[in-house]
A and B are shown apart, each in its own frame.
Chain A
Amino acid sequence: MNELVFFINKVVLAGGVIGSIYAMGAIGVTLVFAILRFAHFAHGDMMTLGAFIAFILTASFPAVGQWVGLPSAFVLLPVAMVLTALVAIGLDRTFYRPLRGANLKPVVFVMASIGVTLMIQGLVRLFAGPSARQLYIDDRKDIFRLEMPFELARMKIVITEPQILLFIFTAVAVVALHLFLTRSRLGKAMRAMSDNPDLARVSGINTDMVVRTTWIIAGMLAAAAGTLLSLDVTFKPDLSFNILLPIFAAAIVGGVGRPYGAVVGGFVVGYAETLAVFNWAILLRPFKESMPDWIDLPTKIAFVPTEYKITVPFVLLVIILIWRPTGILKGKVL
């Protein structure tokens, strides 16, 4: 049973963690894709920026968390989310809105967003330096080791406090987004604009408001995902680097413009990554005795060596583009 526990630790939990992060990032990407119709390359760096803001806040007020019994960075997360949302709106005002009036090809926006990416990257690295930092400054990371109820397993299921917070936060965020998009007036306006921007405009929907809301949601989720990821591991200025491609893959796999698709896509990509680098030989070990002698069990059976993890989202992307360009939930093909 140790092997099963190992599997739960290394795949079920780890994949869930990275899947939640990808899901939150992909929701932002997919919303920007749906409303503004371009691939927002700066999203990964907005996550880094959000995490960096949370880091600065935590460093300034390290004791906040002790009042509530949660990590300070998590308590300060709403502030970081609001600040990142403001930054997102500011970026839109300065860099994207002037281009919107000019009736340009959509790919020009992609390029502008890459310019923004490089700017954020340069600034964050200038102020944060290249090293990794802990977001736990004054408080301690709680690690829970769950005993298995039966005698067979000596290993324990290990789950950390930030992982639990991440799961709860993702669930709450997805439900809240669902309610917002289906129940509220603004959410309905967003869906209308995603389906047909011209029709939405002539029927009196305030498109500026919708665009602003999109950036607020995207910025808040980006900050949350970046901070929660940094809480779980560490804050690194090059966080966005490894996360951009999986997020795009998640948004496209799920179906561009479909927030629920982004959630599905996020978990698909997250689990695909962890399953691909998982060493399957460990799961076969308990059956070694019952196997015939001529089968020589290799010590390592993994689809992809860990250093090639980045290929997994790409391969998924290629498969989905060939097989079903609309994605799992029938999104747009732009």
Chain B
Amino acid sequence: MSGVRREIALFAGLGVLLVLVFLSQGAAYGVRMLAEASCYAILALGLTIQWGYAGLFNAGIMGFVAVGGAVTMTLTYPSNPDFWNSEGPAGLAGVALWLIGAIALVVAVSRADRIGVPKGLRNALTAVVAGAAYLVVAAQLDPVATLIEKEAGFIGGFGLPVWLGWAFGGVVAGLVAWFIGHICLGLRSDYLAIATLGIAEIIKAILKNSDWLTRGTLTVSPLDWPVPTPGDIGFVASRSAYLAVTAVMIVVIYILLQRAWHAPWGRMMRAIRDNEVSSASMGKDVNRRRLEIFILGSVLMGIGGAALVSFSRIFDPSGFIPLNHTFLVWVMVILGGAGNNRGAIFGALLVYVIWTMSEPAALALFEVVRSIGESLFAWEAPADLNSRALQMRVFVIGLTITLVLRYAPKGLLPEQPPKHED
């Protein structure tokens, strides 16, 4: 089969590329890059089920990554005694009570049509009550947040094991996805794209400005690893161990997704993706299934994001650039081949290697441009040429997306519909 041969050739080429990187940049750098690429591979697997299996356009991957990272940070960072000794916990508990009460009230009002309130009035009432409840809760939170920031800096963490942090990162990302999907999945994919982009921006704004929760721009470090950290056993060994953990996760996720793809569930998803009307007429609950797979993909993104943030050992909310990093993952998936799990992993490794290697390449290229310009045309290069050169990488991501869409819409490893022999 030519498909298998092609796959072997592509993976062999990728292997050669990785060996070259290892030889030229050294083992510590190579393992770091591979570990990061493996985290991106988890993100790509999450996206490939949303886009490849179900055709859902998620433009807010960075938002889910940030959620996963923030949850991991909060759960695994050592606890902050200043916070627990202050009045912060009591205050936060009070805010939580207010919040629960407010949510209960809003939900109750939104169900008012059951007791005969007309729908228009119910909507108006819900909006008013929600607005008022929001103001009350915000007014409750404000002094507590100020107090925590003044007395303890931020609430610190809970000192829980890392794997628990990753798992909860996935769960919270799934909750965010449930909220978005609930509103947008009944409409066309464009609305989902806009809404996910919006929620990514909002998550970033919240993480960046809630100093009491995340220390905002001051960043939190060092984050714990599920394996011994470089300080204990050296860079290569610890990073390899980390890579082993993420690799095992990828294998497990891959096997599960592969089974799902061949299962009736996967067939149903493809049917919904390819022809919504006919699958609806066969009795499939299209929106419910879509919500299911959207949440599932976002959970994977939350876990992948948690692993990515943990690996970098620093939680920096301003480091998440919604559009650019999201589309790095998108390039991985559509270049690798949407709907093909091996394609997603292949794409993640290949694109991440190219992405990291393009940084010195872009700088070198612009160094040449600068020297030519200065010597031949007496051109005065701007002082920030290096930071501008890195913007070229954004251009290249955009160009790759459009070219792949036009010339190879199926990607390097196209989706293979399962064949049943019987």
Q: Which A residues contact B (CB, under 8 angstroms)? A: 38-39, 41, 95, 98-99, 102, 104-108, 110-112, 114-123, 125-126, 129-130, 241, 244-245, 248-249, 252, 303, 305, 307-308, 310-311, 313-314, 317-319, 321-323, 325, 333-334
Q: Can you list 14 A-B contacts (CB < 8 A)?
A: A112-B406, A114-B59, A116-B402, A119-B399, A120-B398, A122-B392, A130-B387, A303-B131, A303-B135, A307-B208, A310-B198, A321-B184, A321-B187, A334-B188
Label chain A's interface by main secondary structure: helix
Q: Tell whether, in the assembled complex, residue A112 and residue B388 are in contact, meaning their CB atoms are under 8 Å apart.
A: no
Kindly list chain B residues whose C-beta atoms are within 8 Å of the C-beta of A107: 55, 57, 188-190, 193
Closest 3 CB pairs of A and B: A122-B395, A118-B398, A115-B401
Cβ–Cβ < 8 Å partners of A126 in chain B: 388-389, 391-392, 395
Within 319-333 of B, Cβ neighbours of A (below 8 Å) are at: 323-324, 327, 330
Q: Is B394 an interface residue (CB 8 A)?
A: yes
Q: For residue B384, which residues in chain A have a CB less than 8 angstroms away from its CB?
A: 129-130
Are B197's CB and A307's CB within 8 A?
no
Checking A41, A303, A311, A323 against B123 with a beta-carbon cut-off of 8 angstroms, the contacting residue is: A323
A115 touches B405 (CB 8 A): yes
Q: How far is the CA of A122 from the CA of B398 in the complex (A)?
A: 9
Chain B min CB distance to A76 (Å): 24
Report the separation of the CA atoms of residues A308 and B202 in the bound assembly, to the nearest whole angstrom. 7
Closest residue on chain B to residue A311 by CB atoms = B202
Interface string of B400-413 (1 = CB under 8 A from A): 11100110010000
Assess the B191–A321 pair: CB atoms within 8 A: yes
Question: What is the CA–CA distance of A117 and B330 in the complex, to the nearest angstrom?
Answer: 14
Contact present for B188 and A111 (CB under 8 Å): no
- The listed residue (B187, B188, B199, B398) touching A314 by CB distance below 8 A is B199
- The reply to whether the CB of B205 lies closer than 8 angstroms to some CB of chain A is yes
Q: How far is the CA of A230 from the CA of B391 in the complex (A)?
A: 22
Which residues from B are CB-within-8-Å of A112? 401-402, 405-406
Q: Which residues of B sit under 8 angstroms from A323, Cβ to Cβ?
A: 123
B402, A308: Cβ atoms under 8 Å? no
Which of A106, A122, A317 is the one whose CB lies under 8 Å from B189?
Answer: A106
Q: Taking A108-B409, A122-B393, A333-B187 as contacts, is the C-beta distance between A115 and B399 under 8 angstroms?
A: yes
Least CB distance from A251 to B in Å reads 9
Per-residue CB contact flags for chain B residues 174-205 toward chain A (1 = under 8 Å, else 0) read 00000000011001111101110111011001
Q: Is B382 an interface residue (CB 8 A)?
A: yes
Across the interface, which residues of A come within 8 angstroms of B393, CB to CB?
122
Q: Compute how far the CA of A38 lies from the CA of B194 in the bound complex, rounded to whole angstroms.
A: 11
B162 within 8 A of A: no
Given A107-B189, A111-B405, A252-B194, 5 additional A-B pairs, CB 8 A: A107-B193, A111-B334, A303-B134, A317-B198, A333-B188
Candidates A95, A104, A314, A319; contact of B202 at CB < 8 Å: A314
Q: Are B188 and A121 in contact, CB atoms less than 8 angstroms apart?
A: no
- A334 with B398, Cβ < 8 A, contacts A114-B59, A311-B202 known: no
Task: From A102, A111, A117, A318, name the one whose CB has the most chain B CB atoms within 10 angstroms.
Answer: A111
Contact in complex: A117, B123 (CB < 8 Å): no
Q: Judging by beta carbons under 8 Å apart, are B187 and A121 in contact?
A: no
* Smallest Cβ-Cβ distance to B331: which chain A residue: A115
Name the contact of A334 in the complex, choosing from B187, B201, B399 (C-beta under 8 A): B187
Q: Across the interface, which residues of A come within 8 angstroms of B395, CB to CB? A: 118-119, 121-123, 126
Return chain A residues, CB-CB under 8 Å to B323: 114, 117-118, 121, 241
Contacts of A317 in B (CB 8 A): 194-195, 198
Contact of B327 among A114, A249, A333 (CB under 8 A): A114
Cβ of B209 within 8 Å of any chain A Cβ, yes or no, is yes
What sequence of 0s and 1s flags, for each residue 361-404 of chain B, a beta carbon within 8 Å of any chain A beta carbon?
Answer: 00000000000000000000010100111011111111111100
Number of interface residues of B (CB under 8 A): 52
Chain A residues with CB under 8 Å of B8's CB are none
Residues of B within 8 A of A105 (CB): 55, 189
* Distance, CA A252 to CA B189, complexed state (A): 14
Bound-complex Cα distance A72 to B324 (A): 34
> Is B206's beta carbon under 8 Å from chain A?
yes
Instruction: Establish whether residues B198 and A111, one from each chain, have CB atoms under 8 Å apart when the complex forms.
Output: no
A306 to chain B, nearest CB (A): 10
- Most central of A105, A115, A323 by chain B CB within 10 Å: A115
Chain B residues within an 8 Å CB radius of A319: 127
Within the assembled complex, what's the spacing in Å between the Cα atoms of A105 and B334?
Answer: 15
Select from chain B the residue with minimum beta-carbon distance to A248: B194
Given A105-B55, A111-B401, does the pair A122, B190 have CB atoms closer than 8 Å? Answer: no
Chain B nearest Cβ from A102, distance in angstroms:
8
Partner of B388 from the list A129, A245, A321 (CB cut-off 8 Å) is A129
Q: Which of A99, A111, A121 contacts B330 (CB 8 A)?
A: A111
Q: Nearest residue in A to B123 (C-beta to C-beta)?
A: A323
Distance (Å) between the CB of B361 and the closest chain A CB?
Answer: 15
Task: Determine if B190 and A106 form an interchain contact, defined as CB atoms under 8 angstroms apart.
Answer: yes
Q: Of A98, A119, A121, which contacts B406 at CB under 8 A?
A: A98
CA distance A122 to B393 in the complex (A): 7
CB proximity of A67 to chain B, nearest CB, Å: 31
Q: How far is the CA of A327 from the CA of B387 in the complex (A)?
A: 42
Give complex CA distance A310, B205 in Å: 8
- Whole-angstrom distance from the CB of A86 to the nearest CB of chain B? 19
CB contacts under 8 Å to A, within B89-131, are 123, 127, 131
B198:A314 contact, CB within 8 angstroms: yes
Interface string of B268-302 (1 = CB under 8 A from A): 00000000000000000000000000000000000
Are A245 and B193 interface neighbours, CB within 8 A? no
Q: With a CB–CB cut-off of 8 A, which chain A residues contact B382?
A: 129
A74 to B21, CA, bound (A): 52
Residues of B within 8 A of A308 (CB): 202, 205-206, 209
Among B55, B201, B392, B396, the one with the most A-chain Cβ atoms within 10 Å of its Cβ is: B201
Is there contact, CB below 8 Å, between B187 and A245?
no
B321 → A minimal CB distance (Å): 10
- Contact B394–A307 (Cβ < 8 Å): no
